[in-house]
Amino acid sequence: MKDNIWDLPTRLFHWSFAAALIVAFAASTREWFLDYHLLAGAAAFALVAFRVVWGFSGNRSARFSGFVRGWADVKGFLSGLMRLNPARYPGHNPAVGWAVIVMLSLTAVLGATGIIVYSGEEMKGPLVGVFSFETAETAGAVHFIAAYSFLALAAIHVAAALLHDIIWKEGLILSMLTGKKTVEGRVEAVAERPLLKKTAFVLFAAVTAGAILLVIPGERQASGHTPALVEGEGGPRAIERNMVYEEECGSCHNAFSPTLLPARSWEKLMAGLGEHFGDDASLPEETTSEISKWLVASSAERAFSEPSKKIISSIGDAAPLRITETTYWKEKHSDIGNEVYSRKAVSSRTNCAACHPGAPSGSFEDRDISVPRG
């Protein structure tokens, strides 16, 4: 007989969880899609919170106690599977039962490491400054491994579901939509836990709200660029533009972002303005010292930005006077031919703002790049 196996929240969970992860995976390919990746990831994270509580309050097949079984059962199931005659279970079989646990755990790991990467490596969101760049890089590696483990498991899961439907005609996939499946015997009733049920929904709403707050983009300027963050007295602060700097140092070329060279480079450069790349760029002492101070306060060591961290680690103890001579800069621009730099709207590789309209606020993100065509 057909029996109601999957309760509605479990079915809704199943398909929204799948959709959230597909979107998260699809949006992980480009930095441009980071916002979508974050929102989908946040949704998946909140769904896990819901599913964990639902695992104690849903119907028989939704509860962990109903499908998490010991090794003997798993072994029995798997050896049946090898003989192409697996035991039938009304709800999750012992193998998929554990797959559910692993998928939920991996998603929790993905959510936690994702938040660390976002704040410590991408340097965005309200937790900037909480995790170090190194911690975030480690978290990034874990995030990557967890993501591909999830993908592998999900692929096996889909293949197994198809197998059950095609070979054993169990109508499994349809049952995840309708809730109904042909089973031998009845699904036992379980004690209702209405309070816990409500908690699952409240938790879902709370985690969704919390996750969205954690991942909403930081401050955006009216121009649409997200300014680089630098160390301030009370924690990270958006970099302030300095008009004296922009006027004095932006007359022959664009005003380079202070976040892309270490303080020692800026000090050296400011001490040698009389012979500045073949030009005399000297300024009155007072102006020099004001600009120097501002550059040093927003230098690469003090900036919360991925390029800053990477430039610092790529130059060792050196004090380069050119951003364009750091290994990091050269690698990032290695695909760009000389023809591009000679285009009229670009004219030179040091004309950063031609391709990085957010350069004056220290924003060099992928989605903030547009290379002029002519």
Looking at beta carbons only, is 93 or 361 nearer to ligand HEC?
361
Query: Min. distance of Cβ 288 from ligand HEC in angstroms?
Result: 7
Interface pick for ligand HEC out of 171, 199, 340, 357 (rule CB under 6 A):
340
45 contacts 202 by C-beta, under 8 angstroms = no
> Which two tokens mark 16?
């929204």
Q: The tokens of 218 are what? A: 């930081």
In the complex, least distance from residue 271 CB atom to ligand HEC, rounded to whole angstroms:
11
Question: 24 Cβ partners below 8 Å, 6+ apart?
Answer: 37, 40, 41, 44
Kindly indicate which of the ranges 65-73, 116-124, 147-155, 346-354 contains the residues binding ligand HEC, using the contact rule CB under 6 A. Answer: 346-354
Identify the residue whose tokens are 């849903």: 58
Q: Identify which range of 13-21, 152-160, 208-216, 330-338 contacts ligand HEC by CB under 6 A.
A: 330-338
For ligand HEC, give the closer residue by CB, 85 or 289.
289
CA 191 to chain centroid, in Å, comes to 40
Binding mask 247-286 for ligand HEC (x = CB under 6 A): -xx-xxx--x---x--------x---x--xx-x-x-----
- Does the protein bind ligand HEC through residue 290 (CB under 6 A)? no
Contacts 24+ apart (CB under 8 A), 239-245: 239/298, 239/303, 239/361, 239/362, 241/360, 241/361, 242/291, 242/294, 244/287, 244/290, 244/291, 244/294, 245/291, 245/294, 245/295
* Count of residues that bind ligand HEC according to CB under 6 A: 39
Could you list the residues that contact ligand HEC (CB under 6 A)? 248-249, 251-253, 256, 260, 269, 273, 276-277, 279, 281, 291, 306-307, 322-324, 332-333, 335-336, 340-341, 346, 348-352, 354-356, 364-366, 369, 371
